[in-house]
């Protein structure tokens, strides 16, 4: 059994430093890895990214993150990724990481994702170039997630995104903004690639639980939704949840080029 701690939308700035860290002091007693589902900062500045490292750097477990839309606000997303990576975090964007934990290994594939909406109300790549660009960006992001998930060689595959793959975890948000909060294409990628579990943020007023059309459990771990420093999910082990039942689907031993393997830090 692997213990996955997760949170999103921590929106760290100087005035937030110290809000999460005390609750992380005993993280290793509760979790084997910490996943952060984007919106690490408020305005995507490098000063804020340094504050993120103060809060989430040098932890006793690996920390794996995707960026969110706020982290793109200053057009410094690459510089931010580099800074966070130098600080010991693993930043995913169309990529994956495999972490051996005891006798199992967990693979996490991540993208920021994008909007586009859900069946019956989706954006189409038709008409103005701006509309085409909007729809295609979501499609490209979902394709990148599917490829990154397929390339993982591990026992348990987890999809980490900022935008939501399903509408159930958006319940509580105004219906009018659903197309800007997620895309069904992400769920399709998750189902096609045989992920066991999916985590996202972005929907601050949304709901915690959802499920893809293919039956994969989805959790919205936006900090305002979970109301605590992190939630912990137990994946793998014997018997139990549908997450565990899907492990046979997720198991692939082939390791294609480009799959990252990283040893557990503690």
- State the residues that interact with Fe ion by CB under 5 A: 9, 39
Q: Where are the beta strands (DSSP E) in 162-229?
A: 197-200, 209-211, 217-220
Q: How far is the CB of 85 from Fe ion (least distance, A)?
A: 21
Q: Between residues 112 and 188, which has the closer beta carbon with respect to Fe ion?
A: 112
The residues that bridge with 99 in the sheet, in sequence order, are 106
Q: Between residues 59 and 203, which has the closer beta carbon with respect to Fe ion?
A: 203
> 71: closest CA among 111, 25, 22, 125?
111
Q: Between residues 204 and 234, which has the closer beta carbon with respect to Fe ion?
A: 204
Q: How far is the CB of 204 from Fe ion (least distance, A)?
A: 6
Q: Between residues 2 and 226, which has the closer beta carbon with respect to Fe ion?
A: 226
Q: How far is the CB of 143 from Fe ion (least distance, A)?
A: 24
CA–CA separation, 218 and 160 (whole Å) = 10
Q: How far is the CB of 220 from Fe ion (least distance, A)?
A: 11
Question: Is the CB of residue 87 less than 8 Å from the CB of residue 111?
Answer: no
Q: How far is the CB of 202 from Fe ion (least distance, A)?
A: 6
Per 3-state DSSP, what percentage of the chain is helix, strand, and coil (rounded to 5)? Answer: 35, 25, 40
CA–CA separation, 104 and 98 (whole Å) = 10
Number of H helices, E strands in the chain: 9, 14
Q: Between residues 116 and 201, which has the closer beta carbon with respect to Fe ion?
A: 201
Question: Is the CB of residue 149 less than 8 Å from the CB of residue 157?
Answer: yes
Q: How far is the CB of 115 from Fe ion (least distance, A)?
A: 14
Residue found under tokens 């992001």: 141
Question: Is the CB of residue 35 less than 8 Å from the CB of residue 67?
Answer: no
Q: Between residues 9 and 55, which has the closer beta carbon with respect to Fe ion?
A: 9
Q: Tell me the three state secondary structure of residue 158.
A: strand
Question: Is the CB of residue 195 less than 8 Å from the CB of residue 149?
Answer: yes
């Amino acid at each position: 059994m692997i213990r996955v701690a997760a949170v999103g939308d921590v929106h760290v700035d100087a005035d937030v430093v110290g809000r999460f860290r005390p609750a992380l002091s005993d993280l290793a007693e509760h979790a084997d890895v910490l996943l952060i589902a984007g919106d690490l900062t408020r305005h995507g500045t490098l000063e804020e990214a340094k504050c993120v490292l103060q809060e989430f750097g040098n932890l006793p477990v690996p920390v794996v993150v995707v960026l969110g839309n706020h982290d793109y606000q200053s057009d410094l997303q690459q510089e931010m990724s580099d800074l966070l990576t130098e600080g010991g975090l693993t930043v995913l964007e169309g990529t994956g990481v495999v972490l051996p934990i005891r006798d199992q290994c967990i693979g996490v594939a991540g993208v920021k994702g994008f909007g586009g909406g859900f069946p019956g109300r989706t954006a189409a790549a038709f008409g103005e170039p701006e509309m085409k660009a909007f729809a295609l960006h979501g499609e490209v992001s979902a394709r990148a997630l599917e490829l990154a998930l397929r390339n993982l060689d591990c026992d348990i595959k987890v999809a980490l995104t900022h935008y939501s793959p399903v509408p159930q975890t958006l319940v509580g948000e105004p219906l009018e903004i659903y197309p800007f909060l997620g895309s069904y294409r992400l769920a399709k990628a998750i189902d096609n690639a045989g992920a066991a579990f999916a985590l996202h943020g972005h929907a601050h007023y949304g709901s915690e639980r959802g499920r893809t059309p293919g039956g994969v459990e989805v959790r919205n771990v936006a900090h305002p939704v979970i109301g605590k420093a992190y939630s912990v999910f137990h994946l793998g082990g014997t018997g139990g949840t549908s997450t565990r039942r899907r492990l046979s689907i997720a198991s692939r031993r082939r390791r294609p080029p480009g799959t990252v393997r990283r040893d557990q830090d503690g």
